Amino acid sequence: MNEGQKIVVKAVIHSVEKANPTLKNLLELHLKGTTGQGFELAYNDPKAFKDAVSRLFGEYSARLLEMLIISYFRENMGIKGDFDSLEEVVRHLKEVYG
């Protein structure tokens, strides 16, 4: 796992636990069962990650989780910019970390 993936996985776990800690294991099992990947899917394919979250929790909850993840990056990683989607954040991280 590269540095960018580690950062995104940490942000996803933090955000899921912030929303509802009991959902972390459920989401991870769902991701692995439906996509073959765990939380690293958020870095590898942010759209597929959001689609999988949406199938499990619904569209609005998926968007809430996405906003929590973006907020994590703003507050804890000091990422500046007007990011409105997980895809934009990941694109930025890939530019920084390769």
**Mind listing the pLDDT tens digit for each residue in 13-56?**
999 999 998 999 999 999 999 999 999 999 999 999 999 999 99
- Count structural domains, the chain: 1
- Residue 22 belongs to what domain range? 3-97
CATH no. for residue 72?
A: 1.10.1200.200
What SS3 class is residue 29? Answer: helix
Alpha helices in 1-98 (DSSP H): 3-19, 23-35, 41-44, 46-57, 59-76, 86-97
**Mind listing the pLDDT tens digit for each residue in 75-87?**
988 777 788 999 9
pTM of the predicted structure, to 2 decimals: 0.92
pLDDT top residue among 62 and 4 = 62
